[in-house]
Structure 1
Amino acid sequence: MAVARGLLGLPVGALVMAFGAIVLGAPVGIRYLKRTAYWSLLMSVFTFVPPACVFGSSRVDWHRIFAHFKPEESLDALVCLPAYGSVIGAWIGAWPMPLDWERPWQEWPICVTYGAVAGYWIGGLASSVFILIHGPVHVKED
């Protein structure tokens, strides 16, 4: 059941991420369409798929974790901290893009992708620290 929820969350999250990227200034055009699609799928894997697998369509859990940032147990931290890290990392990775250096690594979405991966990694480390402090993960049965 969790795999089916994750597979459903992947395209939904990709659409949300692609829309958000375009609204925030990602280039729009045929040349950039495939790049934006790949980046949004990567971000969906980092941000939407894990909570979709764990929480499903529970609006209360999604709201508690992402709107209020109140992880109640270690599983919540395993889901939300890497997701927050990837979004913050992507945001920080976008900073050098508008600079007029015209370097190949400034192309969309290279900086943003490296930032997202680094942020996800840091979020994973932060969730490990959270687990060390608050105790082990207790998995809920469906």
Structure 2
Amino acid sequence: MRAEATQISAFTAAAAHALCFAGLAAAHFLAGRGALVADPERTLRLLVVCEAPVVIAVFSYLRKGCSRCSFFKAAARGLLALPVGALLNAFGAIVLGAPVGLKYWIATTYWSLLMSLFTFVPAASVYGASKIDWQNVLSHTIYFVPIDVEDYMISTPCHGAVIGAWLGAWPMPLDWERPWQEWPISVTYGAVAGHLVGKVASLALIVLHKRRVRAKTD
């Protein structure tokens, strides 16, 4: 059972990110090349099915307060956050212009679940309902003040996924007549790319954080 959050090493953070990436890679392998464009609903379903157990297990292991919260309680929090986060992501996407209708609702549901895995589930598994920790995760100030390693692990990929999805939506209204411009294909590409860039950036921030802490200790 893991000890306090500040004892997590950069290697542990990298291993956690690698496991989560493996879930995405497995889904991509099972779906096949170009599957997101050819069959977005099936591909998004595979992404959610492959990624959900990995993300919940990894971040439940990295939970705060191990002595007060068991692995299974943290996993239950992650499972509960999955549909809640999906509803909030779907609402945000629709408000920002995502198409509404029977033609899109299945793809929107799976996309929202995937976004929930990128944004809400890790924080719920690690922090539960801690208001202060959620504020730290959602705030940009984490990049300017010393914090726990998990904050970088959760916040940076989360911000990356949101920014990537937003950038991925830009080509949709353009009159290029490309199949990948359909909802939610380009948005998914952007979200996954942004999420992966965020993972890499979080590892760099963790290394810098460790060096700052070591320098202060010395």
| Amino-acid identity (%) | 62
Q: Is 2:199 the partner of 1:127? A: no
- In structure 2, give the amino acid aligned to 1:78: M
User: Pairwise CA RMSD of aligned residues?
Assistant: 1.3
Q: Is 2:118 the partner of 1:11? A: no
Change (3 A) 1:10 1:69: farther
Q: Is 2:158 the partner of 1:83? A: yes
Change (3 A) 1:88 1:53: same
Report which structure shows greater RCO (CA 8 Å, sep ≥6). Answer: 1
- In structure 2, give the amino acid aligned to 1:66: L
Gaps of 5+ in 2: 1-72, 212-218
Query: Number of residues paired by the alignment?
Result: 136
What TM-score do the two structures reach when normalised by structure 2? 0.60
Give the superposition deviation at 1:128. 0.5
1:1-142 maps to which residues of 2 (within 5 A)? 1-70=73-142, 72-135=147-210
Secondary structure in 2 aligned to 1:30? coil
Change (3 A) 1:40 1:104: same
Larger Cα-atom Rg: 2
Deviations 1:91-141 (A, max 9, x none): 0111100001121110000000000000000000011001111129xxxxx
What TM-score do the two structures reach when normalised by structure 1? 0.92
Give the superposition deviation at 1:69. 3.2
Give the superposition deviation at 1:68. 5.0
- State the 4+ residue runs in structure 1 displaced beyond 2 angstroms: 67-71
